[in-house]
Structure 1
Amino acid sequence: MTAWSKIMSLIQDYQQIILLLHEKPDGDCLGSALALGLYLQGEGFQPLIYHPEKINREFSFLPGQDLIKYYTKQVLPEKPVIAVDCAAENRLLYTLPQNVPIINIDHHQSNTFFGDYNLVEPEAAAAGEIIFRLLQNAQKSISAEIATCLYVAVATDTGYFRHSSTTAETFFIAGKLLNYGAAVDLIREHLFEKRPFKELKIIKIALDKLQFAQEKRIVWTALSYEDLAANGLLNIDTEKIISLLRSVAGVQVALVFKELEPRKIKVSLRGKQGYDVNLLAQHFNGGGHAQAAGCSLEGNLKESVNLVIKKTADLLEKL
C-alpha cells in the first residue's frame, strides 16, 4: 500500500479534513499545506487549514488562500487532522481531537511521531518533497497551482537550493514542478522583488546589535521586545537575518534571539557543515535539522542569550 493509499483509507469516510501548520509557518509549511489542501479539494474533500495566528503576508500570493481559516478555539473539532511540517505536537498550537485519525507528515530529525500514521522522512530536504512524492502516487496530475505552492515549499526550505540538504532529488523535483507549470516569475516577483521596507529596518537593528564569540566562530544578535514593538517589527520574519549571519566567513554557528513577547524568546539556529545545531536546540527542548533548528525560551533576554551562547561554545569546543 502506498503512503497516499494509506492516507486515503484513513480519511475516506470524512468530508472535512483539518490541515495544521506549525507556529510562525514558513514557506515550506504553508506551501506544502496549501498544495495538499488544493489536491484534497480536487478529490472532493473540504480541507480546512486552521491557524490561530496571523500568517506572514509574504506568502499571500500563493494559490489556495481561501482554504486558510482563522480558528481561535484551543480544542479542535472531531475531524481528521493532517499536520504538515510539524516536528512535535506542542508546535501545533491546538489540542488534537480524540477518536479521529491524526496524520503526521514531516521531515525533521526531531519528529516525535505523534500521529496515528507518521509519514516522516528526515532525508527529505523539505516537507514539500514528501508532499510531491505523495501526490505523484495519487490518481490525478499535479496542477500548476499546486506546483507553484510546492516549488515555494522546496525552494525556501533549501535556502533557494543553497543548503547542504539540497540533493539531486531536490533538483529533479524542482524540474518536474516547472514542467507542471509552477509560476516562477510570480514567485520571483513576490519573494525577491517586493520586499517590505520593514525587513530592511529589522536587518539594520539586528546588525547594530551583532556580537561574536569563540574567535568569531559564533555570531549572534538579540532583538528585544521593546525594540521590535517600538518599530512595528514583531511580525517581521528574521530568516534573512539568520542567513546573512551564517554567510560570514569563519562563522560556524549563527543565532538570532527574537523576544516575541516580554520574556518569551524564539531562538533561530543555523550551522555550517560539521556542527549539528539540532543537538543544541534539543538541549533547550527545541529541534529541527542538523544545519537549521530552533527553540523557545522564557526568561530575561540577556540571561537567555548568555545561557545559549555558553552552551553553543561548549559544544563547539567538543568538535
Structure 2
Amino acid sequence: MSDYTRSLEEAARFLRAHDRFLVLSHISPDGDATGSALAVAHILKDLGKSYTVINEGDTPAKFSFLPGFEQIRNLSASPLEDTFSAVIAVDCADRSRMGRVEHLFASDAELLNIDHHPTNDSFGTLNLIRTDAAATAEILYDLTVAGDFPMQPDLALCLYTGLLTDTGGFRYSNTTPHVMESAARLLAYGVNPGDVAERCLEVITLGHVHILRRALARLELSHQNQVASVAVSRQDLAETGADREDAGGLVNYCRNIEGVEVGISFVEAEPDVIKVSFRARSYVNVAELAKKLGGGGHAKAAGCTVKGSLEEVQRQVLALVGEAMGSERG
C-alpha cells in the first residue's frame, strides 16, 4: 500500500468518524479552493454530517454558480462564535494561508489538511498531500473513489471546477492523463464544460477592464526584458471603480509576453499591504521566491502578501527575482 493510498483511507475514516465539521479554504480563494471546500461539504452532507464552511474574507462572486456557494460564511463580515473539534482545511499551502480562523478550533481539535502545494508544511493532525496533483480537487476526486463516497451532480460540478481552474482550462503542464480521465468521468454526471469554462475563464467584469487598462499603461519590463510587472494602488482601484477581485489575473498578461520568464503583479490590498502574484514560464521556481516572502505556491504559480509601501515592495521583490535569475533590474 502506498503512502498516498494510506492517507486517502485515513482521511475517509476521519470524515466518517466525526459528526460536526468546520471546513475552510485559503484566503482570497480561487476556483480550486472554492470548489474543493464545497466538494467536502457535499461529501459530508451525503454522510449525514453537520458542517460549517467558512473563509476569512469574500469568495469571488464568479463562483456563485457552484451548489452550496451561499453557505460559505465570510468571517470578516459575519463572525462566528463557536468552536469545532473536527476541522478540514483544503488548498492551504501552509497554516498561515487559512487566515485568522484558529480561534474556532477547540482545544482538542483534529485538523485534516488536504492540499497539493509543494510548499505545504504538513500542519495538520492528518495530512492528505499529493504535490504532483494538479489541484486539490484532483485529490478529493481520489478521496471520493477511495472512500466509496457517492458521486452526484453537485459534487461532480465542484470537483470539475477545481480541475478546470487550476489547470488553466487544461492548458498548463500539470494537465496529466489522470486529470483528463477524472474530468471525463465527472462529465458523465451532467457537468456542462462550456458553461463552467465561460463562467470561470471567459467572462470578465467591467471593473477588470478598467483596472487592466490602467495597469498595462504602466507595465514595466526589467532584467533584460525577462521580467514583466504591473502595479495597482488603492487609489487606482478607487478611481476606476474596481475592487481587489477585479485586479485578479493581471499577472497572466505579464507572463504571457513573448520572451518574459517571470510575470509579477503588485496589488495594494490595504494601506501598506501588497498582494504579490508570480507566474513563471520555465526555469525560475517562483514558489521559492514566494516562500522567502512568507507565501507559497507552485514552481510556476505562487503568491505572497508583503507589508510596506507599493514602491518598497516592488524594489524588494524585483531584487529577489534578480538574485534568482542572476541579473539586475536594469
The question of a shared fold, defined as TM-score above 0.5 by the shorter chain, is answered with yes
The answer to whether the 8 A contact 1:144-1:183 is kept is: no
| 1:83 pairs with one of 89, 92, 99 | 89
| 1:218 pairs with one of 227, 233, 257 | 227
2-structure distance, mates of 1:11, 1:38: 12
256-265 or 198-207: which moved more? 198-207
94-103 or 285-294: which moved more? 94-103
Q: CA deviation at 1:59?
A: 0.4
Secondary structure in 2 aligned to 1:114? coil
Q: CA deviation at 1:181?
A: 2.2
Aligned counterparts, 1:219-298, within 5 A: 219-298=228-307
Secondary structure in 2 aligned to 1:212? strand
What is the aligned partner in structure 1 of residue 64 from structure 2?
60
Q: CA deviation at 1:104?
A: 0.1
2-structure distance, mates of 1:97, 1:238: 36
Whether 1:37 aligns to 2:46 is: no
Percent identity of equivalent pairs: 33
1-structure distance, mates of 2:153, 2:96: 33
Amino acid at match of 1:41: K
| 2:171 pairs with one of 162, 168, 176 | 162
135-144 or 79-88: which moved more? 135-144
Whether 1:311 aligns to 2:317 is: no
Amino acid at match of 1:88: D
Whether 1:10 aligns to 2:17 is: no
Q: CA deviation at 1:215?
A: 1.6
Secondary structure in 2 aligned to 1:63? coil
Amino acid at match of 2:305: S
Secondary structure in 2 aligned to 1:100? strand
1-structure distance, mates of 2:201, 2:286: 28
59-68 or 105-114: which moved more? 59-68
The answer to whether the 8 A contact 1:267-1:295 is kept is: yes
**Gap change, CA 1:107 and 1:210, over 3 Å in 2:** same
187-196 or 174-183: which moved more? 187-196
Q: CA deviation at 1:79?
A: 3.0
Secondary structure in 2 aligned to 1:97? strand
Aligned counterparts, 1:166-205, within 5 A: 166-192=175-201, 194-205=203-214
